[in-house]
Structure 1
Amino acid sequence: MGRLLPTETDASVERSEEPSVLCIDDEETSEVFSALGSETAQAIFRLLNEEPATPATIAQRQDMSVQNVHYHLDNLAAAGLIEVVDTCYSEKGREMDVFVVAEDPTLLFLGTSDDTPAMKRAFDSFASFVGVSPLLVTLGEAASWVFGDE
């Protein structure tokens, strides 16, 4: 007999072609640094860059408690780095949110907001030269290298 409630999601990781830009003097930048300040949060963020997941799935894959996962998910969501994209249900019928990285990729610029227009122009010209998708893949790989893959 089929299930009435979905136990899996068909959500996917989708990114827009226009990144949001954070400068070192933006208030949001502190929130992003704080949200990604632990190895656990970085591991969760990397996992959500690969595929959408529920807190229970993340807890199982990262070998941690669901409560610890919720703590980091709350911080990442408050910083605008992840969002809920779907809902599915556990085997016991409990509703579970499905998280994924935010649609707009975030580019952290270690200059001030006064430099943002010039940086955006440079990014746009570079993106038009190599294409946005390869550029985002490269930025994602660089972030993995900086934050360290597990």
Structure 2
Amino acid sequence: MTTSRRELRQQHADGSGADGQTREAVVSLLVDEGPMTASDIAERLGISPAGVRRHLDNLADAGDVEVAPAGFHKGGRGRPAKWFQLTPSGRGKLRHAYDDLAGAAMRTLRDIGGQAAVDEFARERVSGLVADVQPVSESGSVIATVEQIAGALSGAGYSADTREVGAGVQICQHHCPVAHVATEFPELCEAETAVFTELLGTHVQRLATIANGDCVCSTHVPVQADPQSALDPTDGAQPSTADSPEGKVL
């Protein structure tokens, strides 16, 4: 039985808590929240940062945790903090018994209904997850729809957030409840990309998937410049060549 965070804090206070239970709580947070700093983990669990770092070191030595890429989080002042995330190996140890059941059900569906049945199921599943998301044609904003998609995914256990990258935005899913099944049935990931494309009205690109062994599912969404900020060609002014793609120094 998994120890609750409240029980963990009490056990730590009276010295009866086992190291394994604390590490389990650390891993649980990284699954639910995505990359976190040692200080954030300590605050959430109510234990000392030094204790958290010891457990992170042990998890790193076991190959279950690693430092997230530099510049992962929106910075702040002072020395950048290290952000820790689960490795593919660490995620692999979280496999649940229902993964085998779901995989068996998917294989039976394919045997009975063929590939079309698998594709239809994958699409209906994703469509259900984002059923309340407004497409760009209704929200009027790619960013607004992206944020709604991330919120819907988080509500379904995908621990999703967004970040601006260059001339676009990325939807990052730090956990995938169906990762082990999606490894055998990539149709689940392909359906996500297709539905996101329809909601956003623009081609999106899947950059990484947990099912493929990456530490995060990442989808890039191009965002065009606000048309209201563009120069109105009817006002007689001409755009500078320095602002054109040919004249811009990259």
TM-score range, shorter chain: 0.3 to 0.5
| TM-score, L = length of structure 1 | 0.46
| TM-score, L = length of structure 2 | 0.29
Higher share in strand: 1
Task: Flag the structure with larger Rg.
Answer: 2
